[in-house]
Each structure stands twice: as C-alpha cells, then as structure tokens.
Structure 1
Amino acid sequence: MKALTLKAPGGLENITVSNIADPGKPGKGEIRVAIKASSLNFHDLLVAGGQSPTADGRILLSDGAGIVEEVGEGVETFNVGDHVVSTFFPLWSAGKPVPAVGGFAHTPGDGIDGMACEYVVRAQGAFTRAPAGWSHAESATITTSGLTAWRALITDGNLKAGETVLVQGTGGVSIAALQIAKAMGAKVIATSSSDEKLARVKQLGADETINYRTTPDWGDKVLELTNGFGVDHVVEVGGPATLNESLKSVKVGGHIAQIGILSGNEAAVPVVTLLSKQVHLKGLIVASRQDQSDFVRALEVMGQKPVIDRIFKYEELSKAFAWQQSGAHFGKICIEW
C-alpha cells in the first residue's frame, strides 16, 4: 500500500510517498480501516518539520477518517461498512487524563505510525464512529482541532448560553470553537491580523472582531467590548506572545484554555494578575475517546459542518504543509487519496 513517510531528521523535503506492506487482517479486538482522508494540525507540522523528532520512516498524520473493511474477533463497537474517525490518544478511553497521554508515545503520526496511508489495522478503541452524513474530509477535522475546541469550551469550560468567548486567529481550533460557542448560544469575540479573515468570521457568527496587528493592546479592546468585565472563556492558541493579553481579557473567575504554542514554548506570566483575577488557567491537549463520541453526537444535533480551507491529494502533503506554514489558510486543510 501507499503511505506518506518521514525520513529523519525531518523537513518537508524528507516526506516520501512509500510503498509499504499492507497491514493485513485484523486480530482480536481490532478493525481494518480504509483511510480516505486526513487533516493537518500544528502538531503534525512540528513532527514533519523535525521540531518534534520521531522515528525514521514514521507514517505521518494523527487524523484519519475512513470505512471499516473488516472486524476482528470480539469487536462489537463497529460493523463492516461503518464510517469512522481516529482518536488522538487511543489509550485514553474516558475520564481524566491517564499516564499514557503524558506525551505523544501512543499518538498516531508521532509515537506510532499515523493515518497517512491507505489502510490501518488498529484496536477498536483507536476509532469512534463519524458523524452521519459527513464526508471523510469533514470527519477528519474532528480528531484533533475540533475535539480540542469541544473540550476547552464544553468538557472543561462548562460553557453556558449568554457567556462570552474569545477566540484567537482563524485556524482549525479557533474556527471550531467559534462554531461550538455560537451553537451553545454564547457571544464570540474573534481576533486576527487580517481584516479579510475577520469579515469571514463575522459571516460565521462572530459578534465582535479585533485586528491584533492594528490593535496590539487588544486585551484593552476586549475589556471595552465587555463593559470592563472581560470574557468568560479564552481559547488561547498563541502562547507566550498572547497569554498576557488573554489574562487582561478574561473576567474575574474566568477560564483560559491554554492550547497552543504558536509563538513559542516559554511565557512570563504576571502571577499577580493570575491571582487577583482568580483565573482558571488550564493546559490541555485534545481529549478522551468518550469526549470524541460525545462531540460526534453533538455535531449531528448542531448541524454545522467544519470550515475546510483546501483539500490536497496525499501525494501533495509537502505542498499542503507549506500552505499551512504560510498562515494564509482559513479553517482546516485536508488530505484525500
């Protein structure tokens, strides 16, 4: 079968379309899935670029959606022909994070081979069903960015109608968070460096927008827009360059979901502000399989499809990553065979 593999030490020029052995028939508790689509995430870019080193010859990409071709002995969760989508942490079934998710040792496309291949054989817990009526590309957006937004606002944030959410930028997590927040009856303030993109998030339902390039102290603008109170939730994807403004933006007793490290890994946190505002600042990476199943059910009720910027062919994966690096995309970048 064909697979997209990475030659160490990484770099987009080291992504290769390889012919590798077919994974064969599923064993006990396993399913065989024909992968039809994947989507790109910042974590995938770090692995592909070599910033997050992985094994030589690693099959890339954490997200994968496809069709169950065969089920092994004892499999009761799925049937042949089911449309399914992969999980980011296959060993985290439910509840609070477990030791196995303390790193990426079991994450597809990083610690284990990923979904950029024609077929996989995995334990049934490595997948959930996909939303009914969704294309494979649409379903592939769920695993990482969509589920992260769901956990930030619903599982951890306990978002309620009438609350206000701040989202940063127009990547996959932020757009998913915007859609979830609006479906839940919340108000949304969105930031971007592009007025064109801000106009598009307005069309998606954002109540207020801020261009952080022309308004570098955007936390003050957030306070102005909220009558000095601040927002209930911040979906924080920027990291060191944005965290202080996020702390300024959040209300007393508010919630910041620290998700991204787009601007680096280390931040100088104003502890006095953290204390005086009594902020709930929580780091998170994706969520459990149960959370994903809950999210899928919610998506079917919400009736909102993900925003897909472009769909590339798997053979164009390097080109797709380059487009991701450019920052020109709006929403998710997907890959199809």
Structure 2
Amino acid sequence: MSQIAGSMKAWRLHAFGLENLVLENVSIPEPKSNEILIKVGAVSLNFRDKAIADGFYEPERVPNPLIPVSDAVGTIVKAGSDVKKFTAGDRVLSHLYSHWLDGAPSSNEPDFCLGTPFQGGLAEYMILEAESAVLAPSTITDEEAATLPIAALTAWFSLVTYGGLKAGDTVVLQGTGGVSIFGLQIAHALGAKVIVTTSSDDKGKKALELGADAIINYVKTPNWADEVLRLTNGVGADQLLEVVGGEGLNDSIEATRVAGRISVIGFLAGQTTNLNLMRVIFKQTLIQGIAVGHLKAFEEMNEAFDKYNIKPVIDTVYSFEQAIEAYQHLSKGAFGKIVIKVS
C-alpha cells in the first residue's frame, strides 16, 4: 500500500495551559514496519489528559509540540510490512502502556505511554505499534469504545485482575467519574454489592439506576466511612477504588474490612497524604497502586464487556473542533466519560 499523502488536522500543545492547545494542519505520519496508521473515529478524555495540559503530570516528559490524549479508537488504513496481527479495515483501540503486554510491569513502562511521551490521538490519524493495539468490541460504537483504554481497564484491573472480585463481595466506589462508573458496571455484572459515594443526589440516583446497592452523599454525611461500616454490619468493604487521594486515604482505610484492598488510582485531592500507619498495620490493609493495566487484561475485559453487554456511560460527546470545551467540561466533573468525535 502506498504512502497516504497529504495533511491532517491535529490539536497540538505548544506550552502548558489550554490556551496553548491549537488546532493545526500537520503531515499525516507514515507507519514504520511494526506500526499501524489508524483513521481516528473518537477519543475520550481522562484526568491524566487535563493534568498533562496543565503541566502537573510529569511535565519533564511532555514533548513540544504534543498531540495529546491517549485513548482512541480508529480504523486501520495502513499496516507496516512486519505487521501480522491486524489488516487494513480492522477497528482497533489504543493501549496507554504500549509496551506492557502481560505480567508484571517493567520499570520503564512510562517511557512508552501514549499522549506523553508518545504522540496521542487528538488528530485525524494516529500511529500505534501493532502489538500494543487491541481489537475494539464489535457490540459498541466508536464513541463508546474510545472510553475503554484507561477508565474501564483501570477499574477492571483493580477489581478483577488484581482484586479477584467475586459475587457477594462489597465494593466502595468514590464519585461518578469514568473509572468509578465502570467499576460500578463491572462489579454489578459480576454479582458484587456496590456502594457509591457522591456529592450529588441526582448523580446518586443515576448510579442506583446502573445497579448500585447504596449511595452515600458525603456532603450530607461527611463521616462516610462510618456509613460504609453501618451498611456492612460493621465489617467494611472488601475492595475500594481510591480516586480522590490526599488525606482521604485514611477514611478509605476505615471503610475497608480487615485485610481489605484499596486500589489507589487517582489524586484529585492531592498527590501526597499523611497516613495513619497504625491503622494500616492493625487492619492489615492492602494498598495497591494502580497504573491502568496490561494488554492481556484489556483483551479479557473486552470479552467480558461483550458477554455481559456492558455499555459505557457517556456524559457528553463533543465535536473535534470543540476539544477545548471538552477539556473544560472534564475540569467541572462528569457522570461517566467525556468523548470527542473525530471522524
């Protein structure tokens, strides 16, 4: 197949701050022998993308200029000469940790992440290494598929791959952002009991409609960990997805059972915490850092989404030209995912 000539539109970040994210015409990249070129259908935004643009997520790694956003779905328009895994026309998903295929992560996995330091998908075309791409589930749209690479896989990897979630377990989920809503859908599908914390009764009602068993409004009930204990007859949750970070990690320890598992995913309230080590020791809490997951788990998750007919929850779909508005919406919070339709 000959080179795809011409230019494409791409959003490029030239300095930190959304005012420096500019829509430009650039050359369509040419895939190397082990790469594929995809025509991007849609991308989804994660907290990581906003943190990169704002300059407080490993700023030393961010290239200038950067095509941002790691999570993309698209159709292969050209495959390199050594590519055997896919053919032109296949619909595939990006995978954030592009070299983490299975097993334990290597120390240098962050060197191969999409959307920093590798170029991302907020463009009409995108290059992926063929071995790191994943077939998109056939039962969902581009907009839905674009939400899977970070948010869904993070929830799946925490609860299932590492957590071994089983029917009857109790899971606590913080808020109603992308990771938490996927956690709710996955846990509910696997027969677990789900408690969701939220600052909004309206969002809590939506979470109940998705299968949550109980809602705790942490504005009305600041001692939400005590409420988790009440709801679990004093035992605490088996697993908790920690997306807030900061000092609240101490409350999460109180909300989980003895030898319970806390998956530390986010840092919305800060990247550091003063931890009460005596409570961790006496409760024998397992605190597991989570950085998304490997490709094998991604493929297993996609099969499960097809099996259980899990449909990603999208708050809003923005047009390609509305990328700035999409970032601004993400800053204000969303119920589920923010998606940008590219083509």
Shared fold (TM-score, shorter chain, > 0.5): yes
* Structure 2: gaps of 5 or more residues: 1-7
TM-superposed CA distance for 1:203, in Å, is 0.4
Which amino acid letter does the alignment assign opposite residue 44 of structure 1? Answer: D
Q: Provide the C-alpha distance between the structure 2 equivalents of 1:285 and 1:334, rounded to a whole number of angstroms.
A: 21
Which amino acid letter does the alignment assign opposite residue 217 of structure 1? Answer: N
SS in 2 for 1:170: coil
SS in 1 for 2:180: helix
TM-superposed CA distance for 1:67, in Å, is 0.5
Q: Provide the C-alpha distance between the structure 2 equivalents of 1:109 and 1:90, rounded to a whole number of angstroms.
A: 11
Counterpart residue number, 1:78: 86
Aligned with 1:209 (options 204, 209, 215): 215
Q: Is the 8 A contact 1:151 1:286 kept in 2?
A: yes
* Structure 1: gaps of 5 or more residues: none
Aligned with 2:14 (options 7, 14, 26): 7
User: Which segments of structure 1 move beyond 4 Å, counting only runs of 4 or more?
Assistant: none
Counterpart residue number, 1:50: 55
What is the 5 A alignment of 1:259-278? Answer: 259-278=265-284
Q: Is the 8 A contact 2:33 2:80 kept in 1?
A: yes
TM-superposed CA distance for 1:74, in Å, is 2.7
Aligned with 1:39 (options 41, 44, 50): 44
Closer, same or farther: CA 117–126 of 1 in aligned 2, 3 Å? farther
Which amino acid letter does the alignment assign opposite residue 172 of structure 1? Answer: G
Q: Is the 8 A contact 1:4 1:314 kept in 2?
A: no
Counterpart residue number, 1:191: 197
CA RMSD of aligned residues (A): 1.0
What is the 5 A alignment of 1:1-337? Answer: 1-8=8-15, 10-24=16-30, 26-52=31-57, 53=59, 54-101=62-109, 104-327=110-333, 329-337=334-342
SS in 2 for 1:87: coil
TM-superposed CA distance for 1:119, in Å, is 1.1
Which amino acid letter does the alignment assign opposite residue 299 of structure 2? Answer: S
Q: Is the 8 A contact 1:32 1:68 kept in 2?
A: yes
SS in 1 for 2:51: helix
TM-superposed CA distance for 1:206, in Å, is 0.4
Q: Is the 8 A contact 1:125 1:289 kept in 2?
A: no
Which amino acid letter does the alignment assign opposite residue 36 of structure 1? Answer: G
Per-residue CA deviation, residues 167-215 of structure 1 (Å, 9 max, x unaligned), is 0000000000000000100000000000110011000010010000111
Q: Provide the C-alpha distance between the structure 2 equivalents of 1:98 and 1:220, rounded to a whole number of angstroms.
A: 38
Q: Provide the C-alpha distance between the structure 2 equivalents of 1:35 and 1:77, rounded to a whole number of angstroms.
A: 19
Q: Is the 8 A contact 2:17 2:54 kept in 1?
A: yes
Matched residues, number: 332
Which amino acid letter does the alignment assign opposite residue 48 of structure 1? Answer: A
TM-superposed CA distance for 1:133, in Å, is 2.4
> TM-score, length-normalised on structure 2?
0.95
Q: Provide the C-alpha distance between the structure 2 equivalents of 1:106 and 1:21, rounded to a whole number of angstroms.
A: 22
> TM-score, length-normalised on structure 1?
0.96
Q: Is the 8 A contact 1:92 1:100 kept in 2?
A: no
SS in 1 for 2:329: helix
Q: Is the 8 A contact 2:14 2:20 kept in 1?
A: yes
